[in-house]
Structure 1
Amino acid sequence: MSGTTPGAEDATRPGEQLPRASGTLTGQEPPEPPRANVLMKEILRGSAVTTILAIVLAMIVGGILIALTDEDVQESSAYFFARPGDTLAAIWNAVYGGYEALVRGSIFNARADDFIGQIRPLTNSLGFAAPLIAAGLGVALAFRAGLFNIGARGQMLMGAIFAAFFTFNLDLPMWIHLPTTMLAGIVGGALWGGLVGLIKAVTGAHEVILTIMTNYIAFYLLLWMIRTPGLLQREGTNQPITAPTPASAQFPNLLGPAFPALDWGFLIVVAITVLVWWILERSSLGLRIRAVGENPHAALAAGINVKRIYVYAMLFAGGLAGMAAMNQIQGSVTTGFSGTIDAGIGFDAITVALLGRSRAWGTFAAGILFGVLKSGSFAMQAQGIPVDIVLVVQSLIVLFIAAPPLLRTIFFLPKSDAEKAAKARAKAAKRRPEDTRGKAVSA
């Protein structure tokens, strides 16, 4: 006892020894993190989590807007400090009632008397989603080729013009008339989109300017044709509207007359989604499209005909937009159509493609989501909630998806490798002037 020092005695205790040092200074690499941690980090960095969180955050902001525009909330907020419970209860009732109406009008109506009435909202949502998916696939395919196609509206209108002008006056059996009308619409949209691709390939004109101009041309061409007797204007009227879609050219109901919004057009859209996925991800043409979209100069150096790919991509994009128009005139709007037959789908398709990250199945899921929002917006309106709030939610979803660093900051998610590298470069660039200034002072 007397011959030992306290420090030496503490050092001999095996239970209190410090862990062995490791790292670059000792020549030993630190141990790798557990696989579960790495897997969780990759999941949190993934696009699926980013998309889900973007939807959640947009719904939160939408709930705030619902509360701010609710009359009960506004009235109870006047005496918030006297009775805060009334304001909180009014906020809960407003937000819960709004989103409950959204679900009830788009997915499942628990208040309906029978099962058919309960699931009818879901079929309505799928019916609304079909043209959005078709047009969104066209925009997404063009995106994969590096083309910003905002001309889906004009391509839809031209598809409707072709279908009405060439097939509405035919007297054919249904098994011939229906596919003929659908094919005419697809061809009309494909030719209108292919024209943009051809002009870009030949002259180098930007596709954004071209598609904007072709939108206007198609719109005013349709207006002229539905106002001119003998072209597309309905006989016996001077109103700018076409004749009804022939019964033999209409899509049959998929689940019977109890679900009028869902027809065979939705199954065709599902088949088209599979086809687009196979073309982009499994075919040699899809490989060339993706190569051109990533780097057209490298693709050209690899022997790919970039100009031809531009034409092909816009042909496919226009044909898919034409299919969206056929979902309208052969399914949803069969009593005759006017210049508003696109119903904003051509521009919503851009949002759907962005939300789906230009992938076939991602675009399909995004189209379903937007169909749900559109179908549920009618029930929300019945609750006194402005339909514009649904549009705000849609816009916020795209905004948050387009800004992944913002989402990671809000939800404290791990940063991606690219973000870490960018941050390191920024720190290095900031450190260089300080080092240079220090050297100058020392000199």
Structure 2
Amino acid sequence: MTRPRVAARIRGRAALDARDREDARRGHPAVDLSAFARARGLEPLGSLDPSGHTAVMPMEPELQFNVVRGTVAGRDAVLWHWRYPWPLDDDGPAGPYAFSGVVSVARSGWRSFLGISADDDQYVGVPCTGVAALVPEAGLLPSFRIACGPGTRQLSRRAVDLGPSGLPGAGPDAEGPLPEGSAAAVARGPLGAVVRAGSRCPLFDVGDRFGTVVLRRNGYVADERDLDGLLRTAVDAGDALAGPARPLPSPRPFEEPLPASGPPLPPWLVPPATQLEAVHALARRFGLTPEDPRAHTAAFPANPAPGTAWAVLRGAPPGLPPTTRLALHTEAPVREVNTGRTALVLPAGDATPTPRGGVRIDSPTAPRRLAVYDGLWTSSVLRSRQLELGDVDLLLSAGADLARRTGALPG
């Protein structure tokens, strides 16, 4: 049986600020940000999904409204009003936060009485605003989250306490080890300033997931100055996050081969055995050589393909140069969800840079996305079915022509 979408499991409403109770009751914001977006050269998307931000977006139209996407201060950014699905436990909305206007079908003991398992979690919709920016330089960092504000009463067991560094009650809760000294650097630097400013909100957190920095705060923010501030804050957080990640990249010329293997991949980048065998079969089919995906991320820290590489192949597919790469990126743990892009990667050559989010290239079978900046040219297709590698045949057959038409390869 297919698990119900999250929106279908919302069983009530709540607000983290009494002023948000009417928005919570309505279930969506009362404002439209289209004019705000257009006045700033951004694209209003309504409730559509912004390509490249799967790592942090709800990806359900009932949970995201007023999606705004575009380049802000050099980074691909997105802002949206978020009907955040807050988990319910037997006593109501979970966690130490103070809620207002809670209306829920939940009753004490209802989960155990009904025999509901963790896979059938129920939620209340809480008005929030999300804002995110792509930070490919942070692709080697583990996903983490820093929560702050009145609701953060105690750190999780694995969080690094930033109190001694000037951020009491805050600390990165990371899925893996952070670079040595990076937590203290976060507290002292611009990211620490972001956390301090956000701590005045009833809810505020900042985190990174697969090279995307994301901020969340309570309420459907509508004031244009506040919205501008949130977008700027996301970019500042992204720039600040690139600092702790800076010792990890090791840029190299594109033509230089990368190691075939390296240290074991972290669990979130390890694919199922069946999918890994499909990658090996693809390599054999085109005579390509596997490369260490972590070395690829380190060598090209500003890779235009969103997410983090979990498999990379190098070689000369038909009609393409001797050093051509296929990079399979993910925006979620590979074993859990096959979401991300398979990218054909070349040096940019004389190709004109695109916006940071790239441009859509329509085709009869599968849309592609062209992104060119920081010396790299990528054409990518989206993976959507479990264990598939994407339409690699389309990517390669059309890639050489697109590269020549756009100037990445000689005409």
TM-score normalised by length of structure 1: 0.22
Bigger fraction of residues in strand? 2
> Which structure is higher in RCO with an 8 Å CA cutoff and minimum separation 6?
1
Instruction: Flag the structure with larger Rg.
Output: 1
Bigger fraction of residues in helix? 1
TM-score normalised by length of structure 2: 0.23
